[in-house]
Amino acid sequence: MIKTQRNELSAELRERHQIGADWKFGRRFNVRWSEVDSFSHANHTSHFGWIEETRNLYLADAGYPLRDKSVPGPIVREVGCIYERSLLLEDDVFVTARTEWLGRTSFRMNYAVWSEGLIANAFAICIWMLSSDASKRSIPQDLRSYMQALDGAIERSNPQP
């Protein structure tokens, strides 16, 4: 199965959406009818769906595609989002992702949602966990290296949580 290219950040999209140079990975979305609510805006939960999808593709690009509960993967421990502007049906959306820090079993990624300018800033702290028995696992070394090389993610010896 040929997959589409995971990282869709290009010079053209940087310019269109005014995305800063400190973002290295991102994905395109379009606001779908199913994401628009009765206020005719993209509902605020849609952003978390796009962010989750972008995180998963970032991890897949690093060699760790999400699979199922038999394989360690990211479990969300904490999220937050600040919304600056609303989005309408069919709006061209771009979501960027980068890793801010890495602990032994947890990491924090920041996200931004763009559409010809900034729409929202968000973050998620995830734990690397085997879902089948809910055990925390060390983040694999090659995933750490990917995050450090791409984003300059810093090591934290005693991260919260």
Residue ranges that bind a copy of itself, judged by CB under 8 A: 1-4, 16, 28, 30, 32-34, 36-41, 43-45, 48-49, 52-53, 56-57, 60, 65-69, 73, 75-83, 86, 89-92, 115-116, 131, 134, 161
CB of 94 closer than 8 Å to CB of 119 = no
**Residue 132 CB, nearest approach to a copy of itself (Å):** 8
- Our CB check for a copy of itself shows the closer of 90 and 155 to be 90
**Residue 37 CB, nearest approach to a copy of itself (Å):** 6
Q: Where are the beta strands (DSSP E) in 84-156?
A: 92-102, 106-114, 118-130, 135-136, 154-155
**Residue 152 CB, nearest approach to a copy of itself (Å):** 25
65-70: Cβ within 8 A, 24+ apart: 68/131, 69/130, 69/131, 69/132, 70/130, 70/132
- Our CB check for a copy of itself shows the closer of 34 and 157 to be 34
- Our CB check for a copy of itself shows the closer of 48 and 101 to be 48
**Residue 18 CB, nearest approach to a copy of itself (Å):** 13
Q: What's the CA gap between 45 and 37, in Å, rounded?
A: 10
Length of the chain measured in residues: 161
